């Protein structure tokens, strides 16, 4: 059904009845549809009257930032919202709803479009695990699996077997002491002792130098003891 004056009146009456029931959200929806139908008929004054009526009752509505309804429909968000309202409450459905409410029906309670249930994503099919074959290093290929030699190959004659080598005689093991005695000396040497050389007179310490050293040591020791005693007794000496 194309928009007509009757359609504008149907949406406006539905908005009034929803307002009486206290359904503010449904009231705003039908006022938007009434204003949209009036704008489609070229009745801009009527559309602006319905828009102002909506904003007076709901100052924080989606149409608040726009000066006119035509400017609001230029916004993709507002336009998609109005298109959804047109699909949910077509003029034919709105007329039937109004007749139901006039006859004492429950109005739009329970008649809001329900979202379609979202089917859960299909579960991924489990990947087939590759077959595992047990294998051991010592496993040998059976004779049935061995490739047969080609027919044109002449069998080789077996090579002559070499005679076994004579076993070497085992040597008798010697004890450690006997092995050390049996080994020859690589570097022979003589252990003859060399007499020490006699000391000269210059290397012998003289008695004079020993006396001088002892006297100097005693003098230094006496001076150190005297200095230590003076240092300890200085605080007790009269000034």
Give the confidence band of 115 by pLDDT, cuts at 50, 70, 90: very low
Residue 66 has pLDDT above 90, yes or no: yes
pLDDT of amino acid 113:
43
Q: What is the DSSP string of 19-61?
A: HHHT-HHHHHHHHHHHHHHHHHTT-HHHHHHHHHHHHHH-TTS
pTM: 0.45
Q: How far apart are CA 35 and CA 69, in angstroms?
A: 8
pLDDT of amino acid 210:
83
Is-contact 57 27, C-beta < 8 A?
A: yes
- Indicate the length of the chain as a whole number: 239
Q: How far apart are CA 151 and CA 183, in angstroms?
A: 66
pLDDT of amino acid 177:
57
> Nearest to residue 31, comparing CAs of 4, 2, 63, 60?
63
181-237 pLDDT, tens digit each: 555 555 555 555 556 656 555 555 567 788 888 999 999 999 999 999 888 888 887
Region of poorest pLDDT, from 52-66, 114-128, 148-162, 220-234: 114-128
Structure tokens at 43: 């009745």
Q: How far apart are CA 34 and CA 70, in angstroms?
A: 14
């Amino acid at each position: 059904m194309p928009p007509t004056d009757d359609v504008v009146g149907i949406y406006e009456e539905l908005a009034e009845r929803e307002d009486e029931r206290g359904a503010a959200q449904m009231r705003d929806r039908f006022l938007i549809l009434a204003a949209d139908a009036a704008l489609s008929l070229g009745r801009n004054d009527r559309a602006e009257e319905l828009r102002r009526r909506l904003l007076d009752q709901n100052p924080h509505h989606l149409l608040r930032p726009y000066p006119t309804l035509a400017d609001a429909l230029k916004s993709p968000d507002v336009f998609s919202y109005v298109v959804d309202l047109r699909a949910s409450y077509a003029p034919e459905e709105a007329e039937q709803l109004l007749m139901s409410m006039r006859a004492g029906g429950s109005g739009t309670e329970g008649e809001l479009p329900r979202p379609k249930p979202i089917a859960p994503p299909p579960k991924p099919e489990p990947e087939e695990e590759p077959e595992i074959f047990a294998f051991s290093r010592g496993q040998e290929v059976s004779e049935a699996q061995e490739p047969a030699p080609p027919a044109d190959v002449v069998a080789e004659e077996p090579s002559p077997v070499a005679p076994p080598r004579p076993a070497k005689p085992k040597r008798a093991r010697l004890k450690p002491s006997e092995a050390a005695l049996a080994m020859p000396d690589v570097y022979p040497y003589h252990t003859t002792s060399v007499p020490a050389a006699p000391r000269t007179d210059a290397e012998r310490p003289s008695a004079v130098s020993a006396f001088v050293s002892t006297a100097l040591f005693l003098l230094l020791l006496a001076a150190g003891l005297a200095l230590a005693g003076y240092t300890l007794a200085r605080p007790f000496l009269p000034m």
